[in-house]
């Protein structure tokens, strides 16, 4: 349609701008990253306070670097065939929690609010097939959105679970889905926001928003043939659930062909 062509055009123009900005930011943060790391590693007489500050700076730099990588990745034409590898979702979630700590712990505390983080990890979670970096970026975006939705503080819950895919399972082949839930106790979404939030450039955050976070999440979801569900209630909070089909292994299915897990191309 006319509208989607225009969106493509805007994306392309923005892509060029974004990669220019990404380049400049990278150059600017390189020395900061270098000297912070070098102080943390070599300076033996740092005070606890000094060390804590440097660690916060170091995590903030990681965030900036991740954002820059996202800016680059989001617009770059993806390689036609994604290389999928086994991903342990529990450890990926834990990794993202550590990487995003500055955003849900340190920054809110500076503003005098508290965001507590809970994890509920399913035991015996099977690996999924995916692109580790893409899923990590998507999860980071969901966590940032959850934090933004809790300006007065609240609870962020990260939960993993495994369920049987009732639609795709047959008598012979039981297919499973691994779910990652990101739940917040924040402001929730109106019906209109819920409907439109995955669209590129849709934001309710004014100047502070780009409207690209969830569009990026959705791109990852599509490339992984995964699903995203949004449960939300105004004033109560939001749960974003990503679910990934688990490939069946030869031992669990002896005579059936493996399910088609090649991600759809856009
Ligand atoms: P941005 O964060 O830059 O606005 P996103 O694409 O990440 O862009 O999100 C689009 C919109 O979806 C947000 O502006 C917000 O209105 C809504 N949204 C996303 N996540 C949440 C959430 N956890 N709670 C409430 N609203 C949300």
Q: Cβ–Cβ contacts within 10 Å for residue 71, how many?
A: 24
Q: Using one digit for the tens of pLDDT, what is the confidence trace for 211-260?
A: 889 988 988 898 899 999 999 999 999 999 999 999 775 444 444 444 44
Q: Which residues line ligand 1 (CB under 6 A)?
A: 141, 145-146, 149, 184, 186-189, 193, 197, 202-205, 209-215, 238
Q: Using one digit for the tens of pLDDT, what is the confidence trace for 23-41?
A: 888 888 989 999 999 999 9
97 membership: H or E segment, kind and range: helix 89-99
Q: Using one digit for the tens of pLDDT, what is the confidence trace for 104-137?
A: 998 888 889 999 999 999 998 999 999 888 899 8
ipTM greater than 0.95: yes
First CA to last CA distance, the chain: 16
Residues recorded for the chain:
266
Residue to probe by mutation, ligand 1, list 141, 197, 215, 221, most atoms within 8 Å of CB: 197
Distance of CA 164 to the CA centre of its chain: 24
The atom number, within ligand 1, closest to the CA of 210 reads 3
DSSP 3-71: HHHHHHHHHHHHHHHHHHHHHHHHHHHHHHHHHHHHHHHH-TT--HHHHHHHHHHHHHHHHHHHHHHHH
User: 244 - beta bridge partners?
Assistant: 178
156 membership: H or E segment, kind and range: strand 154-164
Considering only CA atoms, which residue is closest to atom 19 of ligand 1? 145
């Amino acid at each position: 349609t006319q509208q989607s062509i225009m969106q493509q055009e805007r994306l392309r123009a923005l892509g060029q701008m974004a990669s220019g900005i990404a380049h400049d930011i990278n150059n600017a943060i390189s020395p900061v990253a270098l000297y912070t790391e070098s102080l943390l590693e070599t300076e033996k007489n740092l005070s606890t306070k000094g060390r804590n500050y440097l660690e916060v700076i170091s995590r903030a730099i990681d965030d900036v670097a991740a954002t820059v990588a996202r800016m680059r990745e989001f617009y770059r034409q993806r390689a036609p065939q994604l290389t999928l590898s086994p991903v342990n979702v529990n450890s990926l979630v834990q990794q993202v929690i550590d990487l995003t700590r500055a955003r849900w712990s340190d920054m809110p505390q500076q503003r005098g609010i508290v965001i507590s983080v809970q994890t509920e990890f399913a035991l015996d979670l099977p690996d999924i097939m995916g692109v580790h970096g893409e899923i990590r970026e998507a999860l980071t975006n969901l966590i940032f959105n959850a934090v933004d939705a809790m300006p007065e503080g609240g609870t962020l819950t990260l939960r993993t679970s495994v369920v049987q895919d009732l639609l795709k399972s047959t008598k012979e082949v039981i297919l499973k889905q691994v779910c990652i839930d990101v739940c917040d106790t924040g402001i929730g979404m109106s019906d209109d926001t819920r409907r439109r939030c995955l669209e590129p450039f849709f934001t309710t955050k004014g100047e502070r928003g780009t409207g690209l976070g969830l569009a990026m999440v959705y791109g990852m979801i599509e490339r992984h043939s995964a699903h995203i569900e949004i449960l939300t209630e105004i004033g109560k909070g939001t749960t974003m659930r990503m679910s990934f089909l688990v490939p069946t292994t030869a031992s669990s299915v002896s005579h059936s062909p493996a399910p088609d897990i090649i991600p759809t191309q856009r």
